[in-house]
Amino acid sequence: MVYDRMQENLRKEAFRHEVSERASRLNICVDCDMSNIKLFESKQIRTVWNEADEKWYFVVEDVVAVLTDSKDPKQYIKRMRQRDQELAKGWVQFVPTLMVDTPGGKQKMGCANAKGLLRIIQSIPSPKAEPFKLWLAQVGSDRLDEIENPELATQRTRELYKLKGYPDDWIEKRMRSIAIREELTEEWKNRGVKEQMEYAILTAEISKATFGLTPSEYKKVKGLKSQNLRDHMTDLELIFSMLGEASTTAIVKTQNPKGFLENKKAAKQGGSVAGNARRELESKTGEKIVSSENHLLETSNLKVSKAGKKELKKGRRK
């Protein structure tokens, strides 16, 4: 069971990286930077960062205008929804209205995240949309191959990290961290912890005890938004992150906590093991483990937001 869940997580990890890699080659940003305007064939596509689900959203009218050259994208969208009844049924769910900057001030506009955007593109009969459709077909084929041979997911994840420029020794640590995480979440699941929200809370408890920062605070330190925090950790940050979760797993196995509250206590204990080790190393080296370094473009590394500096100082006092 743990192995199956680990392979599923690796498939998701590989898919996430592949979305970013291939979409960037098509000149549309899925794993966006801090800018609120993206260029697609020299045309502007406005984007909005949604704090509620921590995802970038694209203005649908802009995307339709770019892919169809329509002079009236609103009418095109209306006809597209009439043409595709299934798309129309789910429209409200994946095209929420968000406040967008316009020449006349902020206005509510229909926006879609990467998943919703790719669904919409499937309903656009345009040569410009064809590369996206072909890519989606290839991704689907790849996923079926990985179901038949789960080791392909591991191989693909390694390859994608290499394409992003990560060194081999870091990749080995990252792959190990995925396995450790899967073992922990399996223990949580078996002890009545609910996925998503409760997992996130327990993870935050481990991180807080390990680094003095919750994952959201840690992201601010590194200048991240939708990016995966662990993909931007240094070797030592990854090691202590693994220690916190591995320690929590060991405590859970021996103490056998039941439900969310008991596992929350175990999470704090496991994170404290890693936190004590971190502080001990920092006292010996005189250097802090928590770092603002990330694996974004070098130009991004030169800028650390005020919020990030504040959280970094906060973590260093722990």
Question: Mean per-residue pLDDT for 245-250?
Answer: 98
What's the pLDDT at 11?
A: 54
What's the pLDDT at 248?
A: 98
Give the pLDDT band of residue 246 (cuts 50, 70, 90): very high
Decide if 297 is inside a domain. Answer: yes
pLDDT at 16 over 60: no
pLDDT digits (tens, 9 = 90+) for 170-196: 999 999 999 999 999 999 999 999 888
What's the pLDDT at 102?
A: 84
| Domain span at 64 | 28-143
Decide if 287 is inside a domain. Answer: yes
What's the pLDDT at 94?
A: 87
The answer to whether residues 59 and 198 belong to one domain is no
pLDDT at 45 over 80: yes
The answer to whether residues 34 and 118 belong to one domain is yes
Structure tokens at 293: 């370094």
- Lowest-pLDDT range of 37-41, 49-53, 100-104, 107-111: 37-41
pTM given for the model: 0.67
Decide if 200 is inside a domain. Answer: yes
- Lowest-pLDDT range of 72-76, 162-166, 210-214, 245-249: 162-166
Q: How many structural domains are present in the chain?
A: 2
Domain boundary among 107, 128, 143: 143
Decide if 181 is inside a domain. Answer: yes
The answer to whether residues 184 and 69 belong to one domain is no
Please give the angle made by the CA atoms of 30, 182 and 242, to the nearest 5 degrees.
90
Structure tokens at 8: 């599923």
What's the pLDDT at 9?
A: 55
Question: Mean per-residue pLDDT for 281-291?
Answer: 97
- Mean pLDDT of all residues belonging to the chain: 83
Decide if 228 is inside a domain. Answer: yes
Structure tokens at 110: 């229909």
Question: Mean per-residue pLDDT for 277-301?
Answer: 84
What's the pLDDT at 204?
A: 96
Question: Mean per-residue pLDDT for 288-303?
Answer: 69
pLDDT at 300 over 70: no
What's the pLDDT at 17?
A: 52
The answer to whether residues 118 and 184 belong to one domain is no
Question: Mean per-residue pLDDT for 267-284?
Answer: 98
The answer to whether residues 173 and 307 belong to one domain is yes
Give the pLDDT band of residue 14 (cuts 50, 70, 90): low
Decide if 12 is inside a domain. Answer: no
The answer to whether residues 177 and 304 belong to one domain is yes
